[in-house]
Structure 1
Amino acid sequence: MPEPKTSRGDYLGLALILALAAALRLPGLNSSLWHDEVQTLITHVRLPWSEMLQSYSMNHHYLHNIAAKVSVSLFGESAWALRLPALLFGLGTLWAMWALARHLAGTAIAHVTTLLLALSYHQIWFSQNARGYTGLAFFSTLGMLLFLRGIRRPRPGTWIGYGLCLAAAVFTHLTGAFFFAAQGLVWLALVVWRGLTGRLDAATAGLPLMGFAIGAAVSLALYLPILPSLIETVGGVSGSSASDVMQEYQNPLWTAFEAIRTGIGQTGPLVGLVGGAVLALSLLGAVALGRDEPLFAPVTFGHILLTVVLLMAVGMRIWPRFFFADIGFLMLLIVLGVRLACAIAGQILGGERLATGLFALAVIAMLGISAVLAKRNYALPKQDLEGAYHFARQLAEPGTRVYAVGYAGENFSLYGADWPIIYTSAEYRAALAEPGPVVLIVGFPERTFRDVPELARDAGVGAGDPCGPGGAPGAVLVTARCFAGTLGDGGLIVFVRG
């Protein structure tokens, strides 16, 4: 398929979409950090440069953290400076997706796809998240463009660039390798097919191999200082996951449900309907694109399947964020699927003009729905640690003991708190055995109530919602206030005992 010509108007359209995307991502950029962001700051970004690559942790997104440290060094320590690299990578992903969609389906489809991503709840959320996921999406999207171009017109420069994208993604997070592994499997299948049909040439076999080799070599060199720690950490993933009280996190059905629920902000039958529509339109889009670019859909679906299989094989939690890089690819397939559905309807009912009109109406509807769903990004912080901290300080009169409960408690040191942290039932019983007023700040309540069942009992969780009107009836602990957030299980509950 020849590369489409691009006019000044096309570039102006892209610039306007990127400007809109930036405007949508700036509000809230300086809001309260959530657990993983705080840990990124405290345990990595604040370290001296010489100590940032001394040991491996699944929580460290190394390339992103280096960029975040540069940003904080330049602009001072603040939430917006820590999140600036994620914002820039998010905008870069939109540009890369526009270039990819234009390459595959033309400028009009590229504009629609990119505009939908600019309004996307998930894309906005992660562009304001001081983690490496927008970086992964950027390098994966650029890698997809180079992969498809390199297969169609094999050139050394294309595959060198591809190898560098691979290394950058893997150095951001190890799961970045899964996407490029999916491409590698598709390439191997292509080599076998062309070999069997007598159409295999040296460039198709050799240059992609060079790209993968460059990516692997650079990745290994980057991780070499912490390779023993990396191997030890990855080897221990299965054991830690097996003892996790949140076993549903290892279920791909939970992952799919959670990804859709966070996007639409609702549970129940609507989640299944949305999931079915996404799958059906994506498959229809794969059919629409199959003749012009048969490798795109297999890579997209292959990455999702391969990630699930590999994570289940090592017993690792299957977080929805591991599939964030696929949002742009699925969005393109959905847009193409909608266009094909409108074309079929137009052909049955009244011709090409009707099909064009139906597609225009469908695009307007999709944009309107995306804009409405995106509003939730601005209603709440991701996790209101700062609000819970200040509220607890106000409650803590002289003689009152304050405890943080659960892993979120590790983050209050950011505000200067030195509250003891309760992780287990034994620690909880010891803390409440002493008489006197107590304030408890519970983070990640669903997990924490399972980790500390006595806390759940005293809060009356089994008898009602502790954040419902009046709290749980008959509870030993009284709910003083609940702080909601957009993060899954990211709420905080402040309990008091008089």
Structure 2
Amino acid sequence: MPATEPADVGQVLKGQGTMRLLSGGGSVLLGGLLLTLVLIPSSSWTAFFLHPLRAPGGAPLPVLGEGVGLLRVLLPLCGIGWLMAGWYLLRRTPTHAGLRADPTTSVNRFLIFGICVAIVGGILIRLPLLEDGLWYDEIAAFWYYGQFGPGPIMGNMFTPANHVAQTLATWGAVSLNGGALDPITLRLPALVMGLASCWPIWILVRETIGGRWPLVGLLLLMLCPIAVLESTEARGYAFMLFFSASACALMTRYLRTGRLELLPVYALCCACGIWSHLVTVVVPVGHACLLVAMFCWSTQSNRRAAFALLSIALAALMTATLLAPTLPELWQGSSAFRALDADQPVLIGREGRWAVLGLGGSWAYFGGLCGLVLAAIGLTGAKGNSAIGRGLLVCGLPLLVALALILLLGTWIYARFLLLGLPFTLLAVTTGLHRVRLRSPLAAGCLAVLLVAGWTTDLWYRYQTPRQPIREIMAQIPDDDSRIAVIGVVDFPIILSWYVENPQRIVDAGRLLGENQELLKSSSIEWLVVGYPEKTVSDSQTRSALQIGKERLPNGFEVVDFQPGWIDEDGSMALLRRVRAPVPGQS
């Protein structure tokens, strides 16, 4: 980057001083708030976090008391950490040493128009998916956590369904909308965070490529199928994308400029990202690996790396404080995160294949492979270009850490968990287009058209096929007194009761078809809903019969409808109705 011109030095120093004042002052305020929270007694914290479903006889479980005790220990430590960070920033003033001009992106009417078109287009692309019926995880998150308010949301994690930051935001959206539980209200926070991710992606591309290419990165984000899908889902993945992209953009910028005021914001983004989804922990871990390498092998970067490592330590302390009420419970249930059952997703299978294709921005073959080709070309752009290489390292190392942890710990994995790697994909694809365009604008145009075609094809399929057709299946059952038997994974009957006026109609018929034959013989059961047939129907011929819908299944049920779904390896569902013998004398 070119050095700053003398005439611009005063302006740059003034801007850096303002940012340092805001960052340092914000850190002091946050530290003061955390120290103030120490004054709240343990009994008040326990009452605030108490979950109605986790309070037998009205008394809190011992694990909650342990979490509150841990919180009261961490609050002063974290508060002091933020006060020290703020004090250090406020007592220092920007100097001329190492002053660099920011990468310039000429802002003109064309660029502003392009940004507006990209964002409006991104909203329009996402609108149809916002109205999809809710699927298992979305319903479970609100059923077990969101409906009970901020205390139970922040203080409990007895199932993996609670992505705390997102669940809090969903509770807020529902409360502001008068308690409405329609899909758009529940998904609105995810939409906002998905669109807000355009800011860190813009910064990331500006730091590495510059020119007008940040607009290309923004357009790719708005169209990328994975980004679209996860910003229209009431889960924590859009939050994960925003905070991980922000952390990567801030770290990339810090490594170039050395501006200390970026580090408190970076630490806060890391903590909030992990609060949104635990897998985001690999982002600061990956960055720590890079910083340790810099500290060991580059004496010129020792001081810069040391400050960044301190910010990661502050992020770890903040994360532990945010999660403190739930940490004892998470530790007790840690075995639930290991792939111990045959039906849990691992890297060898569809989710692993999707994870690889996801590096190309799409979980479909056509779109994913088109993106992978451009990403591979972009990786070659790291040679001889330190800015691009630095950005790709910062964004890519968390993915390698995630892969290593999955293999070492033997955890189950879904491809959407790796949404934190989407900044790497978008940067690599943008770099690939940039490199091809330098040699042949025509070739770059052809590759861009192929990429758009692949991504659009994937999105079109998602428009036609719901994640999980719970709403579509349940809408076919009349609102009467007939009982509905449900076969599916754990808590699936509770999930289906979301779409039933009287939840008492739902009967749990087990996790496997044929498991409760006597129950299904009851004449009061008129309907049978089978979810996740790949897991719940062991016989392949019976699964085929469900899809064909022509054969009568055991216990006198016949297939009424079979709806495909693409989430969780097998989101398909079947609806069956009991066949009644005709009454004599009636036609």
> Into which bin does the TM-score normalised by the smaller protein fall?
0.7 to 0.9
Q: Does 1:147 align with 2:241?
A: no
Shift of 1:333: 0.7
Q: Does 1:489 align with 2:570?
A: yes
Q: Please identify, of 82-91 and 21-30, the stretch whose mean Cα deviation from structure 2 is larger.
A: 21-30
Candidates 287, 301, 307, aligned match of 2:396: 301
Asked if 2 retains the 8 angstrom alpha-carbon contact of 1:55 and 1:230, the reply is: no
Relative to 1, partners in 2 of residues 1:336 and 1:261: Cα closer, same or farther, differing over 3 Å? closer
- State the Cα deviation string for residues 340-375 of structure 1 (Å, max 9, x = none): 3455xx4xxxxxxxx122213322332233233322
Q: Following the alignment from structure 1 to structure 2, what is the Cα–Cα distance between the partners of residues 443 and 252? A: 23
Q: What is the DSSP-based 3-state SS (H/G/I as helix, E as strand, rest coil) of the residue aligned with 2:527?
A: strand
Q: What is the DSSP-based 3-state SS (H/G/I as helix, E as strand, rest coil) of the residue aligned with 2:485?
A: strand
Q: Following the alignment from structure 1 to structure 2, what is the Cα–Cα distance between the partners of residues 367 and 251? A: 28
Candidates 388, 392, 398, aligned match of 2:473: 388
Report matched runs for 1:104-253 at 5 Å. Answer: 104-195=208-299, 199-202=300-303, 204-238=304-338, 241-242=339-340, 244-247=341-344, 249-252=345-348
Q: Following the alignment from structure 1 to structure 2, what is the Cα–Cα distance between the partners of residues 311 and 142? A: 24
Q: Please identify, of 484-493 and 223-232, the stretch whose mean Cα deviation from structure 2 is larger.
A: 484-493
Q: Following the alignment from structure 1 to structure 2, what is the Cα–Cα distance between the partners of residues 342 and 476? A: 64
Asked if 2 retains the 8 angstrom alpha-carbon contact of 1:460 and 1:474, the reply is: no
Q: Does 1:414 align with 2:498?
A: yes
Q: Following the alignment from structure 1 to structure 2, what is the Cα–Cα distance between the partners of residues 340 and 200? A: 29
One-letter amino acid matched to 1:327 = L
Q: Following the alignment from structure 2 to structure 1, what is the Cα–Cα distance between the partners of residues 357 and 274? A: 28
Q: Following the alignment from structure 2 to structure 1, what is the Cα–Cα distance between the partners of residues 146 and 432? A: 43
One-letter amino acid matched to 1:414 = W
Asked if 2 retains the 8 angstrom alpha-carbon contact of 1:124 and 1:377, the reply is: no
One-letter amino acid matched to 1:423 = G
Shift of 1:227: 1.9
Asked if 2 retains the 8 angstrom alpha-carbon contact of 1:252 and 1:308, the reply is: no
Candidates 515, 518, 523, aligned match of 1:430: 518
Shift of 1:6: 3.0
Relative to 1, partners in 2 of residues 1:435 and 1:70: Cα closer, same or farther, differing over 3 Å? closer
TM-score when normalising by structure 2? 0.73
Q: Following the alignment from structure 1 to structure 2, what is the Cα–Cα distance between the partners of residues 360 and 102? A: 21
1:379 aligned partner: 464
Q: What is the DSSP-based 3-state SS (H/G/I as helix, E as strand, rest coil) of the residue aligned with 2:234?
A: coil
1:445 aligned partner: 533
Q: Does 1:58 align with 2:160?
A: yes
Q: Does 1:49 align with 2:150?
A: yes
Candidates 328, 335, 346, aligned match of 2:423: 328
Shift of 1:3: 1.0
2:39 aligned partner: none
1:478 aligned partner: 558
- State the Cα deviation string for residues 446-481 of structure 1 (Å, max 9, x = none): 1222xxx4xx47x723xx352136358999642210
Q: Following the alignment from structure 1 to structure 2, what is the Cα–Cα distance between the partners of residues 313 and 476? A: 48
Asked if 1 retains the 8 angstrom alpha-carbon contact of 2:137 and 2:161, the reply is: yes
1:100 aligned partner: 204
TM-score when normalising by structure 1? 0.85
Shift of 1:280: 4.8
Relative to 1, partners in 2 of residues 1:231 and 1:371: Cα closer, same or farther, differing over 3 Å? same
Q: Following the alignment from structure 1 to structure 2, what is the Cα–Cα distance between the partners of residues 261 and 169? A: 23
One-letter amino acid matched to 2:459 = A
Number of equivalences: 464
One-letter amino acid matched to 1:73 = S
- State the Cα deviation string for residues 282-307 of structure 1 (Å, max 9, x = none): 23312213423223323433222221
2:108 aligned partner: 8
- State the Cα deviation string for residues 141-178 of structure 1 (Å, max 9, x = none): 11111101111222221111110111111111111111
Shift of 1:441: 0.3
Gaps of 5+ in 2: 2-101, 580-587
Q: Please identify, of 473-482 and 111-120, the stretch whose mean Cα deviation from structure 2 is larger.
A: 473-482
Shift of 1:128: 0.9
Candidates 72, 80, 85, aligned match of 2:174: 72
Q: Please identify, of 430-439 and 213-222, the stretch whose mean Cα deviation from structure 2 is larger.
A: 430-439
- State the Cα deviation string for residues 53-111 of structure 1 (Å, max 9, x = none): 33223211001111111111101322111101100010011232122112211243222
Asked if 2 retains the 8 angstrom alpha-carbon contact of 1:167 and 1:219, the reply is: yes
Shift of 1:138: 0.5
1:402 aligned partner: 484
Report matched runs for 1:249-268 at 5 Å. Answer: 249-252=345-348, 254-259=350-355
Q: Following the alignment from structure 1 to structure 2, what is the Cα–Cα distance between the partners of residues 180 and 465? A: 49
1:286 aligned partner: 379
2:28 aligned partner: none
2:55 aligned partner: none
Asked if 1 retains the 8 angstrom alpha-carbon contact of 2:362 and 2:368, the reply is: no
One-letter amino acid matched to 1:481 = D
Q: What is the DSSP-based 3-state SS (H/G/I as helix, E as strand, rest coil) of the residue aligned with 2:145?
A: helix
2:189 aligned partner: 85
Asked if 1 retains the 8 angstrom alpha-carbon contact of 2:173 and 2:189, the reply is: yes
1:350 aligned partner: none
One-letter amino acid matched to 2:516 = Y
Q: Following the alignment from structure 1 to structure 2, what is the Cα–Cα distance between the partners of residues 469 and 411? A: 24
- State the Cα deviation string for residues 296-331 of structure 1 (Å, max 9, x = none): 323433222221221232222111011112223213
One-letter amino acid matched to 2:547 = C
| Greater gyration radius | 2
Asked if 2 retains the 8 angstrom alpha-carbon contact of 1:444 and 1:491, the reply is: yes
Q: Following the alignment from structure 2 to structure 1, what is the Cα–Cα distance between the partners of residues 555 and 523? A: 17
Q: Following the alignment from structure 1 to structure 2, what is the Cα–Cα distance between the partners of residues 256 and 113? A: 26
One-letter amino acid matched to 2:435 = L
Q: Following the alignment from structure 2 to structure 1, what is the Cα–Cα distance between the partners of residues 308 and 374? A: 31
Relative to 1, partners in 2 of residues 1:264 and 1:133: Cα closer, same or farther, differing over 3 Å? closer
Between 1 and 2, higher relative CO (CA 8 Å, sep ≥ 6) is seen in: 1
Percent identical among aligned pairs is 22
Shift of 1:377: 3.0
Relative to 1, partners in 2 of residues 1:48 and 1:276: Cα closer, same or farther, differing over 3 Å? closer
Shift of 1:386: 1.7
Q: Following the alignment from structure 1 to structure 2, what is the Cα–Cα distance between the partners of residues 96 and 295? A: 16
2:6 aligned partner: none
1:351 aligned partner: none
Q: Following the alignment from structure 1 to structure 2, what is the Cα–Cα distance between the partners of residues 437 and 475? A: 11
How large is the RMSD of aligned CA atoms in angstroms?
2.7
Q: Following the alignment from structure 1 to structure 2, what is the Cα–Cα distance between the partners of residues 475 and 108? A: 65
Q: What is the DSSP-based 3-state SS (H/G/I as helix, E as strand, rest coil) of the residue aligned with 1:420?
A: strand
One-letter amino acid matched to 2:144 = T
Gaps of 5+ in 1: 347-354
One-letter amino acid matched to 2:510 = Y
Q: Following the alignment from structure 1 to structure 2, what is the Cα–Cα distance between the partners of residues 68 and 474? A: 42
One-letter amino acid matched to 1:222 = L
Q: Following the alignment from structure 2 to structure 1, what is the Cα–Cα distance between the partners of residues 356 and 571? A: 17
